[in-house]
Structure 1
């Protein structure tokens, strides 16, 4: 994400504020923490502006969250003033939150310039949408996925009442996995991350009510691990490991790192979830892989073709790959060609 200018701006804004404070708190370790800090920062900036209105930060965040969620479910990145009004947002109010919602202009049908709106970045929209879903459930005990009057929503999520946050999360997980283009992946990470105690404490600085969020995180963790085991594609499992990271569980990752440090990785028969964990570790490693040597992972427990197939996401991201001495067969050519 460091290649994304907006993310660099968000990170810099948050870290500058935190590092400049004498009693600075813990530096964000997850994406949810980073974006929640940024949201708090933006509301503080709003207070410095000459604007008085009978709308609290809490009300505005929930209104923006509702707008973000509805438009995300519709697949809209750009929306109109009537969409704002539907969520109870006045155009003047939206302008005050310039860091979150900005006004842009575009020419429509070549006849006139219509006023349209968008969030500064899709990730901000996804974070606000997740916050809206989370607070709707924990504060109002309302599952916004069950809005039967909105047909577009019922097509994506099962219309079912959830008695616990765990059930809501499991439903969100299932539906995110069904998405072919992964458009709910980041939303899911934020939704899970917001349930963690450290993020609940952060939200307390912004909201008077954060609701009752006590639930069995381990139940959700085990559900994610089950989905990793069921998912044969390490590439599709990457986001599930990001989700585990948001929940503070690194058991699978630690397992693989131990194998790598001991050099036993070649002699170990890896399960599908361990292959996915290996891909995640290699892709998120601080060491830049200018040359990825496949032979380092070839062993007696797996054929060279299987090793290549499981590590294709890593091959795809590497600048160059050394394949000599790996005993690859013609079976691997199709996979290699798709990556190249």
Structure 2
């Protein structure tokens, strides 16, 4: 890269993900940005081995008062605490421009790095709206620092991703205290695979019950919530002030009982949720899918995206889904039923839905469902017979 001319003079967005950039290339890039820093808004250097030295060079760019970078993506760049010191020092000295910071998959960042970032968040001039810290080896200690910062200055951050960290219930309780704050502006909270159990779910849902009007996207996938946790979340969904649009509960060991609570909530308050992800809940089976199908029949239902991969669905569940979509075809745009191996050619029944001129499906995913060549032909023929439907069919 150092042998090439880096033309960034007209660029507002510069993406160099997975380009084998090392320190040497980073020197050339930052020299170019130092000479003309005022126009670039988005820099993505993810999946490069920048290490701490590369981050120090980028940090020098951020210190420049003419720097206008708003979005900085440095995921999987082998950054440690040392590099985070340089980055946060730069953001402390010039905090008013960066709004999106993506540092996910930097395993060596750990709690000390999060403490440094937390000091930036405390700055009243900080404008960070999106912070991604997925897979950064954060524990309770880092969560204490982060939530303390958000408690003292909670009015700007709208998107927080702490997935795949060892937060456990104690960390979730700390985050729940932030959510209770009436000044909290968090709209997106991702806590996938954080070792959350019922205890953490009680704290989280209690916070959302007391302050339900801001969060629109909640991801609790890959946590051992079970039916008891889903019941707590369902009580939040019943709240008429709840604004959740996207709910992700994949691989949470949900059975029919949990699905009954969830769908009961959606029947009583169907008008807000648009994305429901329940994949990898093997115990849902056909009885759970029938309950979901009853929700889809409701004319007030606003579900657009429904993901039910790996849910042990067979003919019976597919019949219920098909019937629901025939009676109310106008809202669902994405339906993912992949990896339901026992579905087989019963999935062909969905061809009746595809033929409907009111059908709004843009994606129907039936991969690894055991559909035969003849069944595939029937589905493709249904799409061709309805030229107004531009759905993508994956089989």
TM over 0.5: same fold?
Answer: no
What's the TM-score bracket when you normalise by the shorter of the two chains? 0.3 to 0.5
Higher relative contact order (CA 8 A, sep 6+): 1
Compute the TM-score of the two structures, normalised by the length of structure 1: 0.35
Larger proportion of helix: 1
TM-score, with length taken from structure 2? 0.31
CA radius of gyration, larger in: 2
